[in-house]
Structure 1
Amino acid sequence: MPVRNDTRTMPAPWLARALPRLRGLEPLSSYGYAGELLHDDGGADMQAYGARVADLAVRVGEALLSYGASAEEAVAGVLVTAETYGLSYCEPGVTLGAVSLSAYAPGELTPLHATRHVRRHSTDYRSLGRLQALVGRVSSHALTLDEARAEAGRILDAPADTGGRRWARWRAPVQTGLVAAGGGPVFGGGPLTSVCSFVAGVLGGLLSGWLGRNGVPAFYRYAVAAMPAAVMALAVSRFAPPSAVQAVVVAGVLGLLPTVTFVSAVQDALAGHYLTALGRLTDALLVFAAVVTGVVAVLGVGQLIGIGVPIVPSVRRSEHLGAPGAGAVVFAVAVAARARTPGRDWLPAALLGLAGFVVSVEFEVLGFSSLVGTALVATAVGGAGHFFARRRRESALPLVVPGIAPLLPGGALYAALGALASGRTTLGVAGMVNVAAVTLALAVGVGLSGEVGQLVRRVRAAGVR
């Protein structure tokens, strides 16, 4: 008797169908299965037809990966698309920045091979959702091959909905500024901190965008983008309280940290895509190093000319729960907007961000270590995000990534940056290792919640055989 899956609790039926295959949970005899062939012109050239299917499949996989999906989801998209349109013995794969497919067209003895390289990475959950819906329609046999290719072209080739050419240039810098402005109160700042952080975020975004349009590599772009926050902190250090100076530095920098890349790297590693996980982790570490380099360079110059920022103990968020709570909401919504999350997901993301922040404060009061507390809260936030996303049959990332943003280790980051700028290299490096460990704990918590959810669904499905 076949397994009766409850599709109401699946984030995407096509993904749930493909995962057992990708994780080796089905016998090898099932790997030659091909879905229904959606064309009836028996005289067509099957090799040419198969090439068009393979091209669509790898294009969908490349787009899924570039818009923020995990390597496993990209491979599943390639597999489902290829098999639905009749290809057999499909072997999709993702290696670092390339998506590949080897398969056989109906009646052909020569295998097809197709590869696409991922040349751009831009977190865009709105386009990602449209692609996931497209694969869902393909898997349900709702589209012919020509219709699917046309729909994929409309999704991938459509210009970004930025509200006009002038706003398109300012959208990313303004949203980065809003992320920084929301992060200011989270880490002990006030209205002045939010204003300064917003200005620093906008300036950093403008500089990074200009450098990017002129072909400057990402490392140097992020190093330059982090500098305005440090410059602003030096400018206000003469008259602002130490906690405000700390908040300016932290808020201006946290929006640049590669949290999404860390989460994706951990997801890929847990699913067995080690090369892709290593590539994403290397990318995240380079961005992290670039941000640190930019801030430390400015703070070091400030030390030389006698305008050093104050080195203060890490601000305990439990001492500031009013304004930081509102800041956590703004922070989460701004992160969601910058990742082009659909507007209907902003409220759930804000609630997750606020709940996670409040629980993390309570854990701090109870004396939990930063690693343990962060991992527990991230797991809870991830579990709630996956539960809500399953009810709407959508991806959980647009909810979870903004929800964990207020949990980033701001105080520890500031202490490490200050130590590096003042020449205490050993203490600074140890602090950076701690920051990286806490950020990794966030990613592991999110990945763990997703894996637990999948395990529960598989056990429930096996129980109704």
Structure 2
Amino acid sequence: MSVRPETSTPPTPPWLTQALPRLRGLEPTRSYGYGGELLHDDGRADMEAYGARVADLAIRLGEALLSYGASAEEAVAGMLVTAETYGLSYCEPSVTLASVSLSGYAPGELTPLHASRVIRKHATDFRTLSRIHSLVDDISARQLSLEEARARTARILDAPAERGRWARWRVPVQTGAVAAGAAVVFGGGPLTSLCSFVAGLLGAQLCGWLARHGVPAFYRYAVASMPAAALALAVSGSAPPFAVQAIVVAGVLGLLPTVTFVSAVQDALTGHYLTALGRLSDALLVFAAVVTGVVVVLGVGDLLGFGVPIVPSAARVDYLGSPAAGAVVFAVAVAARARTPRRDWLPAAALGLGAFVVAVEFRALGFSSLVGTALVAAVVGGAGHWVARRRRESALPLVVPGIAPLLPGGALYVALSALASGRTTLGVGGLVNVAAVTLALAVGVGLSGEVGQLVRRVRGGAPGRG
């Protein structure tokens, strides 16, 4: 029987807000036991079997949250809220990048339950992540019985995969759209955008084909980055230098593990160091693969006599027209590829455009790239978290597309071209600068979320739930 709140009952706070005091040690240990009531008890004598079903549900939801892009803290909070809502006590959920686990006590049982699940695949799917968030929110509000929650989870996670020709071409085409938008952001025209689209499409198609044959990620992404460099070399004899830069940068920006890096920094800042280290290693491996693929092609081209031009930063006036439109296309394409719900495309486009314009103005005022990027990312993150809290959803579907136009493409191209032409010291220094700017992005996004949580806790007047 479903248990639903009375109409006079005030709405409960978001489930992540409910769980954070426990996860961050703001509640005394003695309060960790279950203090509510069992939602339904139909006379079953075997509470251990009931508890096992609760644990299985919590584990599946935690696995889905983590594998579809949520932070480790969100995954742990989702498992904790689910398990305690359905009657388990003294719950201790934990996650690493490769597994989730949960222990707790079923009602009336003295032997603890233990459950774990290995995560073998990670994918960015904000549409499914949003559905899981909504499900956990309904569970925390006690609007679903255990069996209803298990059935809804199965409908979300066990749905058949996309079929048809578009299912195979969706990611390559959307990756090409990401590259086309990025090309315009970095000063390219229609032909440059078209070349970047082709480069992104070919790279994603190669990456997907290799993935279906079990090739490890490093080799997949190294191969996927090569079409952009090859097309840039092919047009270098007739195209202006900035077009070569735009094709290289745009072709590889869609391959960079931005979501993984942002999540790794958030996990580290919230104390989930093992998960953060795993995600950071994953991100660095993909980044190294992209660098390797581009440098190999550009290096071979340099040996064959193709010039690899070094392009200075564009002036402020260059950003008042088409690059701003490119930032919108870039943000929307990133949102579409990450399977963000369509209702979030317009807010993501607004955040991306605003972030791009403000970042350019900061640069014109003399702000350093690190400080300016961190400040803009904090504002984007704050807006995304505010909207997400009002909707009781994850902020990632808005924040990730919003910060996409801030990625350091120009600095990345300078570093890659320096490495390809043998200037190793300049190239390594450039890569360090790219990593630092990307870190500033991640820290800015995380900072805005923490400030919001702090304000809500201060307004609440106590560190406890609510």
Residue 318 of structure 1 and its aligned partner are, at CA, apart by 4.8
Distance 2:251 2:313 in 1: 17
Q: 2:371 maps to what in 1?
A: 372
Residue 256 of structure 1 and its aligned partner are, at CA, apart by 0.8
Q: 2:432 maps to what in 1?
A: 433
Q: 1:406 maps to what in 2?
A: 405
Distance 1:460 1:412, change over 3 A: same
Equivalent AA in structure 1 for residue 89 of structure 2: S
Q: Deviations over 1:311-353 (max 9, x none)?
A: 2223345533200000000000000000100000000000000
Q: 1:44 maps to what in 2?
A: 45
Q: Which region of structure 1 is more displaced relative to structure 2, 426-435 or 388-397?
A: 388-397
Percent of aligned positions that are identical: 79
**Conserved? CA contact 2:385–2:395, under 8 Å:** yes
Q: 1:289 maps to what in 2?
A: 288
Q: 1:456 maps to what in 2?
A: 455
**Does the residue aligned with 1:114 lie in a helix, a strand or coil?**
strand
Distance 2:361 2:10 in 1: 37
Q: 1:148 maps to what in 2?
A: 149
**Conserved? CA contact 1:409–1:438, under 8 Å:** yes
Unmatched runs of 5 consecutive residues or more in structure 2: 1-8
1:385-400 alignment runs, 5 A limit: 385-400=384-399
Q: 2:92 maps to what in 1?
A: 91
Equivalent AA in structure 2 for residue 271 of structure 1: T
Q: Which region of structure 1 is more displaced relative to structure 2, 352-361 or 377-386?
A: 377-386
**Does the residue aligned with 2:117 lie in a helix, a strand or coil?**
strand
**Conserved? CA contact 1:256–1:291, under 8 Å:** yes
Distance 1:454 1:98 in 2: 27
Distance 2:320 2:263 in 1: 30
Q: 1:329 maps to what in 2?
A: 328
Distance 1:279 1:51 in 2: 29
Q: Deviations over 1:198-234 (max 9, x none)?
A: 0000000110000000000111111111000000100
**Conserved? CA contact 1:318–1:364, under 8 Å:** no
Distance 1:131 1:44 in 2: 31
Matched, 1:209 2:205: no
Residue 67 of structure 1 and its aligned partner are, at CA, apart by 0.7
Equivalent AA in structure 2 for residue 142 of structure 1: Q
Give the root-mean-square deviation of aligned CA atoms. 1.6
Distance 1:152 1:317, change over 3 A: farther
**Conserved? CA contact 2:388–2:394, under 8 Å:** yes
Residue 34 of structure 1 and its aligned partner are, at CA, apart by 4.5
Distance 1:242 1:7, change over 3 A: farther
**Deviant stretches of 4+, over 4 Å:** none
Residue 7 of structure 1 and its aligned partner are, at CA, apart by 8.0
**Conserved? CA contact 1:188–1:247, under 8 Å:** yes
Distance 2:116 2:178 in 1: 37
Q: 2:308 maps to what in 1?
A: 309
Q: 1:136 maps to what in 2?
A: 137
Distance 2:93 2:50 in 1: 18
**Conserved? CA contact 2:263–2:279, under 8 Å:** yes
Q: 1:3 maps to what in 2?
A: none
Residue 463 of structure 1 and its aligned partner are, at CA, apart by 7.5
1:8-407 alignment runs, 5 A limit: 13-160=14-161, 162=162, 164-316=163-315, 318-407=317-406
Residue 22 of structure 1 and its aligned partner are, at CA, apart by 0.6
**Conserved? CA contact 1:188–1:317, under 8 Å:** no
Q: Which region of structure 1 is more displaced relative to structure 2, 203-212 or 44-53?
A: 44-53
What is the TM-score when the length of structure 1 is the normalising length?
0.95
Q: 2:422 maps to what in 1?
A: 423
Q: Deviations over 1:144-181 (max 9, x none)?
A: 11111111011001134x5x411010000000000000
**Conserved? CA contact 1:84–1:141, under 8 Å:** yes
Residue 27 of structure 1 and its aligned partner are, at CA, apart by 1.1
**Does the residue aligned with 2:225 lie in a helix, a strand or coil?**
helix
**Conserved? CA contact 1:37–1:85, under 8 Å:** yes
Distance 1:275 1:87 in 2: 26
**Conserved? CA contact 2:14–2:389, under 8 Å:** no
Residue 390 of structure 1 and its aligned partner are, at CA, apart by 2.0
**Conserved? CA contact 2:316–2:364, under 8 Å:** no
Residue 188 of structure 1 and its aligned partner are, at CA, apart by 1.3
Residue 356 of structure 1 and its aligned partner are, at CA, apart by 0.5
**Conserved? CA contact 2:137–2:392, under 8 Å:** no
Distance 1:129 1:75 in 2: 16
Equivalent AA in structure 2 for residue 400 of structure 1: V
**Does the residue aligned with 1:116 lie in a helix, a strand or coil?**
strand
**Conserved? CA contact 2:308–2:421, under 8 Å:** no
Distance 1:238 1:20 in 2: 60
Equivalent AA in structure 1 for residue 216 of structure 2: P
Distance 1:46 1:463, change over 3 A: closer
Residue 18 of structure 1 and its aligned partner are, at CA, apart by 0.7
Q: Which region of structure 1 is more displaced relative to structure 2, 102-111 or 317-326?
A: 317-326
| Number of residue pairs aligned between Structure 1 and Structure 2 | 456
Distance 2:10 2:347 in 1: 22
Q: Deviations over 1:93-124 (max 9, x none)?
A: 11232111011111111111000111111111
**Conserved? CA contact 1:331–1:405, under 8 Å:** yes
**Does the residue aligned with 1:92 lie in a helix, a strand or coil?**
strand
Distance 1:191 1:293 in 2: 28
Distance 1:410 1:109, change over 3 A: same
Residue 59 of structure 1 and its aligned partner are, at CA, apart by 0.8
Distance 2:10 2:331 in 1: 30
Distance 1:7 1:435, change over 3 A: farther
